[in-house]
Structure 1
């Protein structure tokens, strides 16, 4: 099944600006995880410098990734400086299905 990665580079002051949008951003992730092919999502870096999202679909995972980004509250609020969508040629997968935010 085709997989693609959506990667975000956040603005430098993401920690100061994200609070009003964080709950909506996390709800958006949950919605796409439940129905739209989002299989992995999370911030990278400490402090966070970006985000990574993996989409899997029988048809067009890149279209799902673009729909996700276009409606993401972080993108709409200007918290994402740049984004990329690329095919991911997955060669290993030992992912833990119960991993997620607490």
Structure 2
């Protein structure tokens, strides 16, 4: 299954992230190397949130990431939540679905 982890960021996120960025990125790349984190990044203009795409059997893979993330523990993330994403189109779709009259 795919899960989206959404972050709401503190209004001073850009000013504060430097101190914690290396630890946050290390955590992210480690999750990627394990095949858990597929894509991640901040939303732009305004930079007020981030979205991280996870693959796993349960939402726990994304929840554990957020609980370990220094951005969360140091208040740069003011709120986070996880949603199941039922992917149906694309090479990595969990439930590939095509129209009935597809070629």
Using the size of structure 2 for normalisation, the TM-score is 0.82
TM-score (norm 1): 0.83
Q: State the partner residue of 1:51.
A: 50
- Deviating beyond 4 angstroms after TM superposition, the runs of 4 or more aligned structure 1 residues are none
For residues 35-62 of structure 1, the C-alpha deviation after alignment (integer angstroms, 9 at most, x for no partner) is 15111111112242111111112x21x1
Counterpart of 1:24 in structure 2 is 23
How many pairs align? Answer: 92
Structure 2 residue runs without a partner (length 5+): 93-103
Q: Which has the larger radius of gyration?
A: 2
User: Which ranges in structure 1 are unaligned for 5 or more consecutive residues?
Assistant: 96-102
Calculate the aligned-residue CA RMSD, in Å. 1.5
